[in-house]
Amino acid sequence: MTERKGSGLQTDLSDQIAIVTGASQGIGKACAIELARNGAKVACIARSVDKLAEVVQEIEAEGGEAAAFTCDVCDGTSVQATIDAVIEKWGQLHILVNNAGITKDGLMVRMSDADWDAVINTNLRGTFLFARAASILMMQSRYGRIINMTSVSGLVGNKGQTNYSASKAGMIGMTRSLSRELAKRKVTINAVAPGFIESEMTKVLGDAIISEVKKNVPANRLGTPEDVAAAVLFLASSAASYITGHVLTVDGGMTA
């Protein structure tokens, strides 16, 4: 792999079709752009089409190919319709990046049933629905890459994020279990666990809190969406064909 614009990695994903959920901003957007830069045709998926259109335009401006699809990842009918639409457009599916996720933070004793259900349904159920639908196609073609976006919170927990941490830990368990079911069909499934990543969410914390956060990160900086996209690109590549059921942390050494 050689240096190039983007993450600094390069691989050949030409003639491959990728789905990225939660592709309208942040990590999902970076993953969609990085996969497209390396030749994949990318289905960018989110609830709202407005921001997705900007991502598609950015990919096309660089010579890539992408399309926007709206989907409620919590709804099985909507997920299957989206998968069907991608197949109708491009004929195949090779890569799935399950990135769609939400937070509704709060101490558990004050957490409402609605906030628990919303996070579990979006983060965990949504991953299950897309992985199930995609894995059927991938097993039939005897090739596939599924990459689930979990979090260091799913590894070590985080105060005020019981629902989020549970959903991300569940994604890790799902990844490891499903890897055992799919390996013989040449379908790999791995998880990427980001730490503190620069985003709209971290910007609102303010400089003082971000400074404290950095003290807990051996790399002494926040990660970028491109750092995470590089890990996703590697796991989607042929170089990772013997890696499955793995959780790759991208956290600057937080969980070392």
Return d(Cα 187, Cα 206) in angstroms, integer: 42
242 tagged catalytic: no
CB-based contacts of 55, cutoff 8 Å, min separation 6: 23, 24, 29, 32, 33, 44, 66, 68
Return d(Cα 52, Cα 23) in angstroms, integer: 7
Alpha-carbon distances, residue 192 vs 27, 92, 114, 206, 218 (angstroms) = 11, 24, 27, 26, 19
Amino acid (one-letter) located at 49? V
Return d(Cα 12, Cα 54) in angstroms, integer: 25
Catalytic residue among 90, 128, 130, 164: 164
CA 87 to the chain's CA centroid: 20
Return d(Cα 241, Cα 237) in angstroms, integer: 7
Helix (H) or strand (E) holding 20: strand 17-21
Which phi and psi angles does 58 have, rounded to 5°? -65, -40
Active site residues: 164
